[in-house]
Structure 1
Amino acid sequence: MTDPLAALRLDPAGVSAAEARLLRKITADPTIVVDLAITDLAVLCETSAATIARFAQKLGFTGYRQFRFELAQALSRERGDRERHGLDEDDVLAEDDVQSVIAKVAYQEARAIERTAQAMDGAEVDAVAALVSSAARTDIFGIGASMLAAIDLHLKLVRIGAPAWCVSDVHLALVQAATRGPGDVVIGISHSGTTHEVIELLRLARAGGATTVALTNVPDSPLTAHADHVLCTVARESRFRIGAMSSRTAQLAVIDIIFTRIVQSSGDAARDMLRRTREIITGHNDAAR
């Protein structure tokens, strides 16, 4: 069954003006779908009942009735989760004390991992893991906070001797993407799926014949238009999002899952390499003491 809250992660640029109004209203307050009949929601959003029904189908539901029912169930589950964690509200508020902030941030990040895991496509995970395992080289690109996730995957792949690269200089990244071809894998990471540089890097790599992978929170985004494979996170940032928080946590969870599958499929060779590199680092640290 489609997760109604995850289904709302549509790129506003990819919908009609009427659908964009619906998306803004529902995303801001999903309870209006539960509370309002389709005709009342149409009046509130200045559109028609037919448009709302088509929008629900676009999200993956048979119609508004199913979307309304599934959204009510999802909101009820979230409310139950908050109650179990002792939270009336999961968003961080300006007046929250430190203990409330600790509880809310922990809840948000744990929830992001849980929802991401529930939504992951196992076949797509294994397809990406197999591609990286056999790639002539793998380039991982991210900008800003997503660069942290790109670096993490790069470090993991290097630990098992995989030919992987991750650069922070955009000009060098453009050159690398433009010179990738068949047999190469290029992974672009962008929470929003709208980061211009990452979109351009994936476009260039794909044009050269490389296999491209997008890791994003928005499956219907400009980034995924240039991806052969898409890995999705399900994360919602709080209003106090200064930098990536839940989104970064969800990205790292996906990377850990992909890497684990790579190590599993590589057998003893990868595990031996992990052991050797761990021993080298441990020996280096011991000698420096």
Structure 2
Amino acid sequence: MTQQAKETFRSRTAGGGTALAAKVRTLGPSMTRSMQRVAEAVASDPAGCARLTVTALAQHTGTSEATVVRTARILGYPGYRDLRLALAAFAAQQEAGAPAAVTADIAVDDPLADVVAKLAHDERQTLADTAAGLDVGQLEAAVAALATARRIDVYGTGASSLVGQDLAQKLLRIGLIAHAHSDPHLAVTNAVQLRQGDVALAITHSGGTVDVIEPLRVAFDQGATTVAITGRPDSAVAQYADHVLTTSTSRESELRPAAMSSRTGQLLVVDCLFVGVAQRTYERAAPALSASYEALAHRHHQPRPTTRP
């Protein structure tokens, strides 16, 4: 095995079975049902699947050899042989300690203390899954584009619009020109004004929100660098994104829809982008942050007029 092959294998096996399980949770909804069966099998029993040939795994999951190979490739491996080697490595890592048990969904009659514990568990899992599945190369490219952008437009609707506003506010505080757009008409109108050297960033967990995809498409056609933060890396929004940053989400339930749980992963990616940009532009960012802190502190300490007698 060449040195490059060794590095590639190490990067794919970093994080062990936890990272693989994170990929399955993130990519599973976009897979066919037969591919989901293969993905779930290798994530739940890496040791057992590592002992199976491609034919045996296909029989075990009630699928075909072609489906097994396609699933391996979607999970980031050139072929089944590479996935099988990784599964063997994951199995060895698991011997050191069993993974943490996953809590049950929140029930209508759960005591509030249980709700807090379950939500905390799901939040931690979402953050861990997002971190494990985040492509650092794509993140670095997005950071580089944002740090040198003439102008930055951020698109999002619903819960994702709140995340977009958070990112725009953070970037404004370090001296960048950034605007968040939740109105689809204004988003498209502004996207038309973008050009090479500008950045357009779309936030959509489903990857299929038309009101977010359309302004990103316009920005893409105008020559701006485009970035998508999404839970579905093979969705419609990705075809207009130069860089795709994948997020994870905790299990959707009746009391906690995906729109709520997806924000946790999105906010982690936003913070990674902001810190990366602040690092690259530190000489400008540090004074800008200090100035904004000072301005806000001064405002907070101003005495307010009293209307009572």
Answer yes or no: same fold by TM over 0.5.
yes
Partner of 1:219: 233
Matching residue within 6, 19, 22 for 2:34 = 22
Residue 102 of structure 2 corresponds to residue 80 of structure 1: no
Structure 2: state its 5+ residue gaps.
1-11, 14-18, 305-309
Instruction: Tell me by how many angstroms 1:59 deviates.
Output: 2.3
Match of 1:197 in 2: 211
Q: 1:235: Cα distance to partner?
A: 2.4
Q: CA separation of 1:127/1:55 partners in 2, compared to 1, >3 Å: closer, same or farther?
A: closer
d(CA) in 2 for partners of 1:149, 1:78: 36
Structural RMSD (CA): 3.1
Structure of greater Rg? 2
| CA distance in structure 2 between the partners assigned to 1:142 and 1:78 by the alignment | 40
Larger mean CA deviation between 141-150 and 104-113 belongs to: 104-113
Answer yes or no: is the 8 Å Cα contact 1:177–1:201 preserved in 2. yes
Which whole-Å CA distance do the structure 1 matches of 2:243 and 2:179 have between them? 19
Equivalent in the alignment of 1:7: 23
The 2-side partners of 1:216 and 1:74 are apart by 30
Q: Partner of 1:282 in structure 2?
A: 297
User: 178, 182, 187: which is aligned to 2:196?
Assistant: 182
Q: Is the contact made by 2:206 and 2:231 (CA closer than 8 Å) also made in structure 1?
A: yes
2:176 to 157, 162, 170: 162
Q: Which residue of 1 aligns with 2:133?
A: 119
Partner of 2:64: 48
1:7-60 Cα deviation digits (max 9, x unpaired): 3334866x6xxxx12245467886488878776875686642443233223322
User: Secondary structure of 2:100's match?
Assistant: helix
Partner residue, 1:231: 245
Is the contact made by 1:112 and 1:250 (CA closer than 8 Å) also made in structure 2? yes
Instruction: Tell me, yes or no, if structure 1 residue 246 matches structure 2 residue 265.
Output: no
TM-score, with length taken from structure 2? 0.77
Shift of 1:172: 0.7
Cα shift at 1:188: 0.4
Q: TM-score, normalised by structure 1?
A: 0.82
Instruction: Judge conservation of contact 1:203–1:226 (CA < 8 Å) in 2.
Output: yes
Q: Which amino acid aligns with 1:278?
A: Y
> What are the ranges of 5 or more consecutive residues in structure 1 without an aligned counterpart?
83-87
The yes-or-no answer on 1:141 pairing with 2:155 is yes
CA apart distance, 1:118: 2.9
1:171 & 1:77 partners in 2: Cα distance?
54
Change (3 A) 1:266 1:123: same
Structure 1 residues 77 and 180: alpha-carbon distance in aligned structure 2, compared to 1, 3 A threshold: farther
> Structure 1 residues 135 and 168 mapped into 2: Cα distance closer, same or farther (>3 Å)?
same
Q: Secondary structure at the match of 2:99?
A: helix
Rounded Cα–Cα distance in structure 2 between residues aligned with 1:78 and 1:169: 49
**SS state at 1:80 partner:** coil
Specify the code of the residue in structure 1 equivalent to 2:232. V
Q: Is the 8 A contact 2:252 2:258 kept in 1?
A: no
For residues 120-149 of structure 1, give each alpha carbon's deviation from its aligned partner in whole angstroms, at most 9, with x where no partner exists. Answer: 333332322221121110000111111111
What secondary structure does 2:273 align onto?
Answer: helix
Check the 8 A contact 2:228/2:238 in 1, yes or no.
yes
Q: Give the drift of 1:241.
A: 1.9
Identity, % of aligned pairs?
Answer: 35
Conserved in 1, the CA contact under 8 Å of 2:22 and 2:132? no
Task: Please tell me the residue identity of whatever aligns with 1:274.
Answer: L
**Structure 1 residues 269, 146: CA separation in 2 closer, same or farther (over 3 Å shift)?**
same
User: In 2, Cα distance between the equivalents of 1:219 and 1:74?
Assistant: 28
1:59 to 62, 68, 75: 75
